[in-house]
Amino acid sequence: MSWRADILTLFPAMFPGPLGESLAGRALENGTWSLKVTDMRDFGLGRHRAVDDTPFGGGAGMVLRPDVVDAAIGSVADERPLIFLTPRGKPLSQTRVRELAEGPGAILVCGRFEGIDQRVIEARGGEEISIGDYVLSGGELPALVLLDAVIRLLPGVMGHAESGVEESFSETLLEYPHYTRPALWDGRAVPEVLTQGNHAAIAAWRKAEAIAATQNRRPDLYAQYIATGAAAP
Ligand code: SAH
């Protein structure tokens, strides 16, 4: 059965966009996942199909109306998780990505302007997700980011079943560095252990590199790694 994505947006032409290419594009063509895009403008009010209004309490910008967004959600809602992309949301994690990939799909609501009236988020019991601590102009790129992360984990999308297992974040560690041919490039040799075919030594070297990179680059993740006891022999 296909993993079903629904997108609610004011800019339907942004989809599938990059997800029509490469692994995700092939998976879309062969039915591993499916995509339905709903233009929230179709649920706009009056002759001008208005979707937004000025914020209560004053301030710059416009806010998407709860009645309009609710009607758009009502046209697609089912048992799938309902997700609002917003910088106020919980940061997206590989753990949540993996859970979503194991489910039936997701309904993703893309904000624009100053965002969406909070009441419709509460009324619908939606989950708020952020893709990072910076502000984009709309939820479309965040929705594409979330979908890309999920789709590559769907069965059959990646070449090797394992290639999703060893990666960064799979056990709160960053991944080890990668090397390919030529073995000597620009005066730089590939780490010797990788060329000697000793698989146990390679695994040990990769683990040590992953730990060192995490400790140097992401002390926050390293602290988690130590706290979970994963570092214990
Ligand atoms: N005024 C809002 C930002 C609105 S940005 C605030 O300060 O919180 C407009 C829309 O872009 C948002 O409704 C949301 O859907 C999307 N967006 C922007 N940055 C995002 C991020 N980091 N993660 C997820 N969605 C984001």
pLDDT digits (tens, 9 = 90+) for 104-134: 999 999 999 999 999 999 999 999 999 999 9
CB of 44 closer than 6 angstroms to any ligand 1 atom: no
- Is the C-beta atom of 85 inside 6 A of ligand 1? yes
How much is the average pLDDT of 24-43?
A: 98
Q: What residues have CB less than 8 Å from 132, skipping those under 6 apart?
A: 91, 92
Retrieve residue 128's tokens. 């708020």
Task: Enter the tokens of residue 32.
Answer: 């591993």
Chain mean pLDDT for the chain: 95
Which residue among 136, 137, 146, 148 is best mutated to probe the pocket of ligand 1, counting the most ligand atoms within 8 A of its Cβ?
136
Residues 166-227: name the CATH superfamily.
tRNA(m1g37)methyltransferase, domain 2 (1.10.1270.20)
pLDDT at residue 160 in the model = 63
- The alpha carbons of the chain give a radius of gyration, in whole angstroms, of 22
Helix H or strand E encompassing 94: helix 94-102
What residue ranges do the domains of the chain occupy? 3-151, 166-227
Whether 139 lines ligand 1, by a CB cut-off of 6 Å, is yes
Do 3-151 and 166-227 come out as alike in CATH topology? no
**pLDDT recorded at residue 85:** 98
Which candidate, 112, 119, 120, places its Cα nearest to that of 72? 120
Residues facing residue 107 across a β-bridge? 6, 82
> Each residue of 18-33: pLDDT tens digit?
999 999 999 999 999 9
Q: In CATH, what number does 3-151 get?
A: 3.40.1280.10
Q: Which atom of ligand 1 is nearest to the CA of 133?
A: 22
Amino acid at position 154, single letter: L
Does pTM surpass 0.85?
yes
Share above pLDDT 70 across residues of the chain, in percent, rounded to a whole number? 95
Residue with tokens 């998407």: 64
